[in-house]
Amino acid sequence: MFQNVRIERIGEAMKLLSRPEELILLSIWRLQDDAYCIPIRSQVSEITGEDWSLGSVYMPLERLTKKRLIGSFLSDKTPERGGRHKRIYFLTDDGKKALVRIREVESKMWDGIPVHTLETK
């Protein structure tokens, strides 16, 4: 099943990611073995409540691949897709580190801010 794996070499240190990139990165992690474009899109759309177009998923995926935070491989052909491959994404070590970093940065930023003070009437 893991033929055609694109082995990405560990790239430079993590840079700050844009929000869509971050969300998609997370989504890939959540979906694990089923992380290809369609479920990623529907998951992100569902959680954010906005309709994400295919293009708005492809572009971040491409950028993340370039930054070597994710890798991908082609799955076997599936009949329901007209006999075509899926491109399945997975997190690289850098990707995983990046998620952890984001989480850290985020929680540090939130540290000491009570959420209820942000609520408006």
Partner 1 sequence: MRNNKPSYISEFIISYLGNKQDKTAILGDLEEEYNDLFQRRGSIRAKLWLWKLILVSFPSFIKDRISRSVIMYKNYLKIALRNLVKHKGYSAINIIGFSIGMACSILIALFIFDELSFDRHNEKADRIYRVGAKFGVDRFKIAFTAPPMAEAMMDDFPEIEYAVRMSLWPRNVIVSNSDKRFVEKKIIYADSSIFNVFTIPLIHGDPNTALRDPRTILLTESIARKYYGDQDPMGKFLTIGKENTPYIITGIVKDCNPKSHFQYDFIVSLSTSENSYSDGWMGHTYFTYIVMKENSVPSQLELKFPEFIKRHYGPQFLQKNGMEYDEHLKDEKNYYNYWLQPLMDIHLASEGNDMLSVKGDIFFVYVLSIIAAFILLIACINFMNLSTARYTKRSKEVGMRKVLGSSRRQLIRQFITESVILSLSSLIIAVIFINAILPGFNGFTEKVLVFNIMDNGYIFPGLILFTLVVGMIAGSYPAFFLSSFSPISVLKGAVKQRAGSNILVRRILVVFQFTISIVILIGTFVVYDQLTYMRDVKLGFNRDNIVIVHRSRALGEKFEAFKQELLNSQAVLGVSNTESLPGRHFNPNSHNLEGRPKAEQKVLWTMYGDHEFAELYNLQLSEGRYFSKDISSDQNAVVINETAVEFLGLTEPLGKRFHKDFGEYREGDFVTVIGVVKDINFQSLHEEIKPMIIRNSANIIANYTSIKIKGGYIRETLSMIEDKWNELTGEEPFQYTFFDDDLNNLYRNEQKTGSVFTVFSALAIFIACLGLFGLISFNAEQRTKEIGIRKTLGAKVSTIIMLLSKEITILVLISAVIASPFAFFGMYNWLQNFAYRTSIHPLVFLSTALLTLLIALITIVFQAYKAARANPVKSLKYE
Q: What residues line the site for partner 1 (CB under 8 A)?
A: 36-38, 41, 54-55, 58, 74, 78, 80-82, 84-87
**C-beta of 56 vs 97, nearer to partner 1:** 56
If the CB atoms of residues 14 and 37 are measured against partner 1, the closer one turns out to be: 37
Integer Cα distance of 26 and 91 in angstroms: 9
Angle at 110 (CA atoms; ends 69, 31), nearest 5 degrees:
35
Question: To 5 degrees, how large is the angle CA 98–CA 115–CA 44?
Answer: 45
- Tell the smallest beta-carbon distance from residue 11 to partner 1 (Å): 20
- Whose Cβ is closer to partner 1: residue 56's or residue 102's? 56
Q: How far is the CB of 45 from partner 1 (least distance, A)?
A: 12
Residue 83 gets the label, from left (phi > 0), alpha (psi -120 to 50) or beta, of left
Minimum gap (Å) between residue 13 Cβ and partner 1: 27
